[in-house]
Structure 1
Amino acid sequence: MAKRIIQIEEKVPLKMLLPLSVQHLFAMFGATVLVPFLFGINPAIVLLMNGIGTLLFIFITKGKAPAYLGSSFAFLAPANIVIAQFGYPYALGGFIAVGFLGCVLSFVIKKFGVKWIDVVLPPAAMGPVVALIGLELSGSAASTAGLLEPVIDPKNAIVFLITLSVAVIGSVCFRKFWAIIPILVAVVAGYISAVFLGMVDFTPVLEAPLFALPNFTMPQFNINAILMILPVILVIMSEHIGHQVVTSQIVGRDLIKDPGLDRTLFGDNFSTMISGFLGSVPTTTYGENIGVMALTGVYSVQVIVGAAIMSIICSFIGPLAALIETIPSPVIGGISFLLYGMIGVSGLRILVDEHVDYANSVNMVLTSVVFVAGLSGITIQIGNIALTGMVLAAIVAMLLSLLFFVFSKLHWLNETSEEPKDML
């Protein structure tokens, strides 16, 4: 029997809404609070602005694009340089500048349309680029679980295996209501096992004040700091398009056309601007939550809104925010291990659904070179921006696709690659 799909506009009963929303909150929590920890700021402001940003995104996209906005990792390298040289407030100024430029680009896309995507990122190139979003993060999942240490802690391994096993078995064996919350069940199972193994310290929960305001920071602007961060726009553009394509594949609707790439891109970058003005980190549509939708078949925007509201509430309730922060990293790693793989498979699904013909040399070369560029570990340094992994693969994919498109128009392609249907 096919999995019960809950579509974007569908409502869910209240008894289902709470656990489904919690599931989305848990899926993004580990990664989204890691960014403020790396920047040395309190994660409460990030939970607040991620929730607000998600609500803004849902409003701007008319409730047609199910996406949760979490902390963006794309800004880490240049922002850390700016923080070291100028201070965190000047990094906020850079975040605002990137968000503003992204909003401007959304109006350009609204004016000129999205047909260029089929030229610069045809399915044979888009498939591996999207797959790399998940595959590139696979090492992060293992690292979060503590499995890449020279000596693996047996407790980490046990909690990781319990969490992953429950998620995997639940995804294929759970029925009815349980079939749509395997991630939440896995998190609870992993957390309980961590408590029994003595890995959870409840002291921060007991000492946390009942109510606490997040720490707000006003931005400062410096042209040099802005120029260090501004090139990140290339990274987040590629990431955003990839996320919208893979979400479209999952929900069975073309989100690039409706609500439109211009709206989703504007919503994403407008959220980053607002976050920068109030002292939070940049936001982005989150792969972890895309993975939850792929795994559960629940695409309802109502559930995303529920998760966003819960994130806002957590930012003000001290013990609740502290309790969530006690979730051990092996639990997050176990969940991510499965979710990142689901994103990777979604990229491969593009190749299947679009019937990419690998008897065509252009398609074969595109997919091959893009995969190797993304997985090779090659890094190209341009100023303070490091192009590697999925970002480098996306740029290589665009350049190769444009080159082959020109060759096709000039009739330079040989008989094994002429008139590739994916590019015309």
Structure 2
Amino acid sequence: MESKKIIQIEDKVPVSLLVPLSLQHMFAMFGASVLVPIIFQINPSVVLLMNGIGTLLFFLITKGKAPAYLGSSFAFLAPAGLVMSKWGYQDALGGFIAVGLALCILSFVIYKFGIKWIDVVLPAAAMGPVVALIGLELAGTAASTAGILPGADGTVDSKNAIVFVVTLAFAVFGNVLFKKFFAVIPILIAIIAGYVTALFTGVLAPGTVSDALHASLFVMPNFQAPRFNLEAIVMILPVILVVASEHIGHQIVTSKIVERDLLKDPGLHRSLFADGFSTMISGFVGAVPTTTYGENIGVMAMTKVYSIQVIAGAAILSIIASFIGPVAALIQTIPGPVIGGISFLLYGTIGASGIRIIVDGRVDYSGSRNLTLTSVVFVVGLSGIALSIFNVTLTGMVLAAIVGMILSLLFYIFDKFGWANDKN
């Protein structure tokens, strides 16, 4: 690495560097990626397995030309949580598969017509608040999971509060103060710090940890079959708008980092299809949806190591970890205050990502159109109103996304007929 400043996508890495560089990528995705199955209250072993397999499939479909790691998607948390509260996780799996299939179909549309039409259907003034709503809707869930909301007696357990504050502090200040290798894994460090604090405060019993460490060394991931429920699918399907936008943004950022136009070669249609196909097969075996991971893009930007070989090594390590019993058992013992502390930051980050879309899109609010669009989307998503169509209930981010699309299309039509008063 000293003799070669940049290790490009197709470059080979010496064996002496391959393992530590691959471990770095796995650590970068590990904390956030396993948090999703923990929130869904499922064993993360199958998720680690499918993240690794999905990443390898991504490389195969993109001909090894697009460096990316597929981790657990946070975009599905709000609608999937609602589906799980009504029916169960298996019904959510059916929705995951439907979104994956829709992404594959969208990839063919992009291959045929390009991507400009996306700005018409959901411009930045609507997409930004839709993405922000994912995090804002979950804010209360994070506090509830952490156990820091007043109970029936109006008090909060001080032990939960201590674990929550320690976890959140490491996550917040670690993002700002950690350097070099530790700057890549602040989430993982925060989870470890919160876990240790939970042991010292008694939130987590030592016996629970001992039982996890004595789990069988080799285990099979806990596969589950999906259940297809039309109402559940309709509630989750609008997430495709967020996932597609996130994927496009990641590919654009990665293109700038590696100084190659990945939207043209291997093509956005290939990378999006790979993302959707991975989400589909994950849903069929009981894992959560996958997405290209910003944490791993950050690792590439910092290390200037873009080699597919390195990221493939991280994927293989993730697959191996999924079969190690104590790893999955220990992850499941992470207490609520730790999960809540991490969620506070991550959910806020999702909300900030929506604001970033507005900023990066240079949305002009001096006119009435963008101001109206953003305002309506936010109010629809946060007001709690619901729309029932053929026994299918639309609410929150899902309803806001649909309303945003309808308004955007109407504004586009108004422009075509010259009716809009801010066309110029």
Same fold judged by TM-score > 0.5?
Answer: yes
Q: Do the aligned residues in 2 keep the contact of 1:291 with 1:343 (CA within 8 Å)? A: no
SS at match of 1:355: coil
TM-score (ref. length: structure 1): 0.79
1:283 counterpart = 2:289: yes
The amino acid of 1:284's aligned partner reads: T
Q: Report 1:236-255 matches (<5 A).
A: 236-247=239-250, 253=256
Q: Which residue pairs with 1:342 in the alignment?
A: 349
> Aligned to 2:340, which of 333, 337, 345?
333
Q: Do the aligned residues in 2 keep the contact of 1:146 with 1:152 (CA within 8 Å)? A: yes
The amino acid of 1:173's aligned partner reads: L
Report Cα offsets for 1:70-113 as digits up to 9, x if no partner.
275445555776769xxx5x986776566445423432332222
Q: Which residue pairs with 2:326 in the alignment?
A: 319
Q: Which residue pairs with 1:213 in the alignment?
A: 220
> Whole-Å Cα distance in 1 between the matches of residues 8 and 165 of structure 2?
32
Q: Identity over the aligned pairs, expressed in percent?
A: 53
Unaligned ranges ≥5, structure 1:
1-5, 420-424
Report Cα offsets for 1:179-234 as digits up to 9, x if no partner.
333223222222221221223321432441111222445678xxxx4544543563
Q: Which residue pairs with 2:117 in the alignment?
A: 116
> Whole-Å Cα distance in 2 between the matches of residues 384 and 95 of structure 1?
20
> Whole-Å Cα distance in 1 between the matches of residues 166 and 341 of structure 2?
8
> Whole-Å Cα distance in 2 between the matches of residues 153 and 161 of structure 1?
13
The range that moved more, 209-218 or 292-301, is: 292-301
> Whole-Å Cα distance in 2 between the matches of residues 332 and 371 of structure 1?
27
Q: Do the aligned residues in 2 keep the contact of 1:50 with 1:308 (CA within 8 Å)? A: yes
1:192 counterpart = 2:196: yes
1:136 counterpart = 2:137: yes
1:64 counterpart = 2:66: yes
The amino acid of 1:321's aligned partner reads: A
* Cα offset, 1:291, TM superposition: 6.5
Change (3 A) 1:374 1:175: same
> Whole-Å Cα distance in 2 between the matches of residues 228 and 67 of structure 1?
31
> Whole-Å Cα distance in 1 between the matches of residues 99 and 221 of structure 2?
24
> Whole-Å Cα distance in 2 between the matches of residues 8 and 27 of structure 1?
26
> Aligned to 1:382, which of 376, 386, 389?
389
Q: Do the aligned residues in 2 keep the contact of 1:60 with 1:263 (CA within 8 Å)? A: yes
Change (3 A) 1:302 1:191: farther
Change (3 A) 1:398 1:255: farther
> Aligned to 1:235, which of 235, 238, 241?
238
> Whole-Å Cα distance in 1 between the matches of residues 273 and 210 of structure 2?
41
Change (3 A) 1:371 1:123: same
* Cα offset, 1:162, TM superposition: 0.9
Q: Which residue pairs with 2:364 in the alignment?
A: 357
Q: Do the aligned residues in 2 keep the contact of 1:380 with 1:387 (CA within 8 Å)? A: yes
TM-score (ref. length: structure 2): 0.79
Q: Please tell me the root mean square deviation across aligned C-alpha atoms, in Å.
A: 3.7
The amino acid of 2:237's aligned partner reads: L
Q: Do the aligned residues in 1 keep the contact of 2:99 with 2:239 (CA within 8 Å)? A: no
The amino acid of 1:145's aligned partner reads: A
The range that moved more, 330-339 or 91-100, is: 91-100
Report Cα offsets for 1:251-303 as digits up to 9, x if no partner.
575876665553343223312332344x32451327xx546867996596777
> Whole-Å Cα distance in 2 between the matches of residues 97 and 375 of structure 1?
25
